[in-house]
């Protein structure tokens, strides 16, 4: 097992932020930590990054005690020394993580070009935009080529372009390292992650692969729109309880029995003389699955 | 050790970039040198400024060089203490407030390395400023008043340095306890002022007090006491500085949120 978290608890004065969670991170996989605001995502990540000590429970990383040199951490809002340049900061960070002197220049240049900050590498960080700081935050996290990359809300604060860029970078990083990231933007999580960990009020609500999650919670529905009133179209075909009529011409079939083929449904409707305007098979997105898990 | 040096170099570079290496020595030098110069020109200053009646004559006894240097030390004791506390108060809380500390502590850095880098860089800047200021003041004192032996100047500087180290260590400890820079300065200055005041008021019971070292440095210049009286405060100052430093490391390690 790569990273094993056992009965982890964190208490801030009288507030129990994490209520004993147990999970593991698989090597080489990209895990998304999902949950509403205040679920304890940042607290969990900070404990994993060694910034907070757990009140109870344990984190084991290949059995090592101080594993901080193997991880790269990017906080939610990375801030730097404004008087430094990116190159100076990365040198400073690299030395602290014990990167050998001879490879430091190479590492710094590599991570700067990876996040696309080579052109501004000698400008003062003080004048950077939020997106540039986010990218520099990613650069400092991957600088020492860690085994585990922990990203706290890497895309939440970015504009759509910046978000896409970071997601593409994460997609590339997935091949090289294990990634654990938190987010509340589910669409983004869906694009890059393999594993999902859902947290709510300090407890794990669901854990498993993205595929399994969709299998368990997803549920297909068919949306049909016709020109003629649709009221009696499904007689003897589908139970009335499974149909939800929005208007006279609109119907959503919520429950689909395996015996019912969508093609058969379509041909039957046409043969009964209905003019189909819209016929859509809808699959639940991660968002729907998330809402179901979180609302449990 | 390697991480300590990296952090220490960063502190030095930061102090250079934000101008602390300039303003602290310059202000200290102005503070020091103003003492012999204003003392020397005091008769003229009073003559020009005061509304003295016609024919009034004021006789000033010309102070010795040692007395002028001793007066300089007392300047360091008040305004100097204020300057050192102000220069030190923000070094940890600033990094905590803007969260850059999370980036540092997510790397294999120990609390001791971090605190030690802050402490040593502050001590070096403060003592360099004090040294430059004191040497310059000594030069002017020798020029304008009676000469003072260099060995006395050096010994009094060393004794006084211990007090400065005590001030800085105390401020750094408070800086690990509080987040607010104003609070750090307030608590540190109040404590140091109270300590100095108590040492002055009940000298009999406060022979161990680090503040005694300030008078000690003065006495060395004036040759009016034997040096071994200061062994006790020297000992307590070094010991309490070590304890305060250990406490700072301890509280820093226990910080819940950086």
- What is the per-residue pLDDT across A154-176, written as a single tens digit (0 to 9) for each? 988 888 888 888 899 999 999 99
**Which of A16-20, A67-71, A93-97 is the most confident on average?**
A93-97
State which residue of chain A sits closest to B3, comparing Cα positions.
A96
Are B258 and A75 within 8 A, CB to CB?
A: no
* Cβ partners under 8 Å of residue A279, min gap 6: A222, A223, A224, A225, A266
The model's pTM is 0.85
* Residue B124, pLDDT score: 97
* Residue A219, pLDDT score: 65
How far, in Å, CA of A112 to CA of A101, rounded?
17
* Residue B24, pLDDT score: 95
How much of chain A, in percent, has pLDDT values that exceed 70?
Answer: 95
How confident is residue B82, by pLDDT bands cut at 50, 70 and 90?
very high
Map tokens 């010991």 to a residue: B239
Are A51 and B258 within 8 A, CB to CB?
A: yes
CA B179, B182, B184, B187 dihedral sign is negative
Axis crossing angle, helix A130-142 with helix A86-96, rounded to the nearest 10: 30
Chain B positions in Cβ-Cβ contact with residue A97 (cut-off 8 Å): 107-108
A111 touches chain B (CB under 8 A): no
Q: Which of residues 72-91 of A touch B (CB under 8 A)?
A: 73, 75, 77-81, 83, 88
Residue A246 above 80 pLDDT?
no
A93 touches chain B (CB under 8 A): yes
The mean pLDDT value for B46-58 works out to 74
* Residue B258, pLDDT score: 52
Chain A positions in Cβ-Cβ contact with residue B112 (cut-off 8 Å): none
Are B3 and A93 within 8 A, CB to CB?
A: no
Mutation target among A14, A46, A48, A51 for the B interface, most CBs of B within 10 A: A51
Residue B92 above 70 pLDDT?
yes
Tell how far CA B162 is from the center of its chain.
9
A219 vs A144, more confident: A144
Q: Mean of the per-residue pLDDT values for chain A?
A: 86
Q: Strands (DSSP E) along A156-253, which ranges?
A: 178-183, 195-200, 203-209, 221-226, 243-245, 250-253
- pLDDT tens digit string along A80-111? 999 999 999 999 999 999 999 999 999 999 99
Mutation target among A81, A84, A88 for the B interface, most CBs of B within 10 A: A81
Are B100 and A81 within 8 A, CB to CB?
A: yes
Are B103 and A71 within 8 A, CB to CB?
A: no
The mean pLDDT value for B116-144 works out to 96
> Which of the residue ranges A180-194, B63-77, B212-226 would you say has the lowest mean pLDDT?
B212-226
Q: How far is residue A174 from each of residues A141, A186, A289, B46, measured CA to CA in Å?
A: 14, 18, 24, 79
């Amino acid at each position: 097992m790569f990273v094993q978290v056992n009965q982890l608890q964190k208490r801030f004065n009288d507030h129990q932020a994490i209520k004993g969670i147990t999970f593991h991170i698989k090597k080489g996989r990209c895990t998304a930590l999902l949950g509403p605001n205040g679920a304890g995502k940042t607290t969990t990540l900070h404990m994993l990054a060694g910034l907070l000590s757990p009140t109870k429970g344990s984190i084991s990383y290949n059995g090592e005690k101080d594993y901080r040199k193997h991880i790269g951490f990017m906080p939610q809002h990375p801030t730097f020394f404004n008087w430094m340049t990116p190159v100076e900061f990365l040198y400073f960070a690299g030395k602290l993580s014990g990167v050998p002197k001879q490879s430091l220049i190479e590492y710094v240049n590599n991570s700067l070009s990876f996040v696309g900050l080579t052109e501004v590498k000698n400008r003062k960080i003080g004048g950077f935009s939020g997106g540039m700081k986010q990218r520099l935050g990613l650069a400092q996290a991957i600088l020492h080529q860690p085994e585990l990359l922990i990203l706290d809300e890497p895309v939440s604060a970015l504009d759509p372009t910046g978000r896409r860029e970071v997601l593409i970078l994460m997609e590339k990083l997935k091949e090289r390292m294990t990634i654990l990231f938190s987010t509340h933007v589910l669409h983004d999580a869906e694009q890059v992650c393999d594993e999902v960990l859902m947290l709510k009020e300090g407890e794990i609500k669901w854990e498993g692969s993205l595929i399994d999650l969709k299998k368990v919670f997803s549920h297909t529905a068919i949306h049909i729109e016709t020109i003629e009133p649709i009221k009696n179209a499904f007689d003897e075909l589908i139970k009335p309880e499974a149909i939800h009529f929005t208007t006279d011409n609109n119907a959503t079939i919520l429950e689909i029995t395996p015996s019912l083929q969508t093609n058969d449904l379509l041909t039957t409707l046409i043969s009964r003389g209905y003019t189909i305007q819209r016929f859509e098979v809808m699959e639940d997105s991660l968002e729907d699955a998330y809402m179901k898990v979180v609302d449990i | 050790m390697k991480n300590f040096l990296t952090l220490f170099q960063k502190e030095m570079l930061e102090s250079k970039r934000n101008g602390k290496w300039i303003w602290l020595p310059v202000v200290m030098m102005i503070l020091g040198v103003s003492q012999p110069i204003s003392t020397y020109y005091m008769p003229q200053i009073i003559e020009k400024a005061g509304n003295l009646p016609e024919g009034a004559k004021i006789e000033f006894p010309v102070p010795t060089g040692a007395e002028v240097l001793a007066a300089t030390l007392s300047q360091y004791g008040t305004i100097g203490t204020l300057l050192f506390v102000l220069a030190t108060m923000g070094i940890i809380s600033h990094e905590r407030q803007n969260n850059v500390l999370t980036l540092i502590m997510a790397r294999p850095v120990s609390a001791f390395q971090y605190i030690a880098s802050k402490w040593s860089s502050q001590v070096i800047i403060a003592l360099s400023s004090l040294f430059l200021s004191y040497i310059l003041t000594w030069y002017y004192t020798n020029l304008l008043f009676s000469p003072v032996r260099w060995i006395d100047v050096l010994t009094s500087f060393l004794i006084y340095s211990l007090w400065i180290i005590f001030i800085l260590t105390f401020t750094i400890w408070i800086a690990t306890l509080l987040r607010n820079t104003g609070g750090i300065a307030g608590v540190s200055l109040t404590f140091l002022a109270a300590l100095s005041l108590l040492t002055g008021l009940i000298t009999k019971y406060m022979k161990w007090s680090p503040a005694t070292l300030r008078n000690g440095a003065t006495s060395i210049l004036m040759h009016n006491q034997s040096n071994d009286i200061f062994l006790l405060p020297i000992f307590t100052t070094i010991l309490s500085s070590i304890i305060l430093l250990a406490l700072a490391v301890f509280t820093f390690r226990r910080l819940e949120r950086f």
